[in-house]
Amino acid sequence: MSRAHTHNASSSNDNTEALSEFYGTLGAMTQIMKESMPVQSTPTLEQNDSSVLERFRRLAPPNVLGQGGLEKVERWKRQIEKILEVLHFSSEKNVRLGSFMLEGEAEHRWDSVTRSWGESGTETTWENFLTAFDEKYFPDSIKEIKEVEFIELQQRGMAVEQ
């Protein structure tokens, strides 16, 4: 009987060693598979709305009231576009952040535009935001006046930089 007991103990040790080796191999294979698989994008805190706003605000975006002349409005637009380009957010987030910086008359105008878009089914994209913004603050008549001023400067022999 002691011989059978010894055989069982030896067999048990062999099984334990085999299982241990199997688990070690399985763990190594799992690690290799994890390392060879592409990393899946998972939502991070950076994509959280409050984190997005915090990152945006850290870059000190200017507000625009819709008043103060074309130069001021154009400067606002350029600055906002530079900030959003650096942050690489989606088009929808760009619209939300850009419109967040509108105040006064510009904010009221934007509310009117968004209602109109909702009724017409217009998609809320950064390109559409810029088009609506330009239609309000840089209408064709203003563009034509600026073009005439530019041509007159050239005709008087002045350098464009002046």
DSSP notation for 45-110? GGGSHHHHHHHHHHT-PPPB-S-S-HHHHHHHHHHHHHHHHHHT--HHHHHHHHHHTB-HHHHHHH
Is the whole model's pTM more than 0.95, yes or no?
no
- Tokens in use for 47? 């994509």
pLDDT band at residue 36 under the 50/70/90 scheme = low
For residue 150, pLDDT beyond 60: yes
| pLDDT recorded at residue 137 | 83
Q: What is the pLDDT of residues 62-110, one digit of tens each?
A: 888 766 677 888 889 999 999 999 999 999 999 999 999 999 988 999 9
Please state the rounded mean pLDDT for residues 53-57: 90
| pLDDT recorded at residue 9 | 56
pLDDT band at residue 40 under the 50/70/90 scheme = very low
| pLDDT recorded at residue 41 | 42
For residue 136, pLDDT beyond 70: yes
Mean of per-residue pLDDT scores for the chain: 78
For residue 27, pLDDT beyond 90: no
pLDDT band at residue 43 under the 50/70/90 scheme = very low
CB burial string 115-124: b at 16+ within 10 A, e below: eeeeeeeeeb
